[in-house]
Amino acid sequence: MQYDEIINCPKSGGDLCYKIQVNEDIINYFSLSCGFWTNSLMKIGNEFYEEQMSILPELYKAISWIDQSTELVWIPNTVNEPTLGMVFAEGNSANKWSWASVRTRELTAEEQKETGLTHKPDMTTKKNFEERDYIEALSYIGVLPE
């Protein structure tokens, strides 16, 4: 039985956390309140968790959060919308990080021919947002309305 509902985020306390049952064994959680996600497989010792940790940047590992009541590990979400932009966690440490939001630019016909792409990130548009401003970071690139 699949279902989805909006719950309060266990990490931030915000009221924009999506809980989606994918199948009998897997429930996904994604919080627009703080930008972190998890699922029912994200527990220390679980194979899926270990795979995720092996490929994550060190900052993502450092700022991951364990919900003591469920033992689920929450990690920052990365958004990459090819025609709009990217939102990702950026920083030097768990105490000094923010959401980076970068818009894309449409490539010229010549650039498209060379690369096979229609857009690319334009780092001159990078803007940083505090952890609680994740929705604003998404709005900046056009994923959500402003």
| pLDDT at residue 3 tops 80 | no
Is residue 37, in this structure, part of any structural domain at all?
yes
pLDDT tens digits for range 35-51: 999 999 999 999 999 99
Q: Are residues 94 and 68 in the same domain?
A: no
Q: How many CA atoms, within 13 angstroms, populate the side-chain half-sphere of residue 71?
A: 6
Residue pointed to by tokens 């809980």: 19
Which run of H or E residues covers position 111? helix 109-115
Q: Report CA-CA distances (Å) from 75 to 60, 61, 106, 108, 142.
A: 6, 7, 31, 36, 23
Domain that holds residue 7: 3-76
pLDDT tens digits for range 54-94: 999 999 999 999 999 999 999 999 999 999 999 999 999 99
Is residue 84, in this structure, part of any structural domain at all?
yes
Report pLDDT for 146.
67
Is residue 31, in this structure, part of any structural domain at all?
yes
Q: What is the mean pLDDT of the chain?
A: 94
**How many structural domains are present in the chain?**
2
Predicted model pTM = 0.89
Q: Are residues 108 and 95 in the same domain?
A: yes
Beta bridge partners of 103: 85
| pLDDT at residue 137 tops 90 | yes
* CB atoms inside a 10 Å sphere around CB 112: 14
* CB atoms inside a 10 Å sphere around CB 119: 18
What percent of the chain clears pLDDT 70, i.e. is strictly above it? 98
Report pLDDT for 1.
58
Q: Which of 103, 39, 94 is nearest to 72 (CA)?
A: 39
Phi first, then psi, for residue 30 (nearest 5°) are -140, 120
Q: Are residues 118 and 66 in the same domain?
A: no
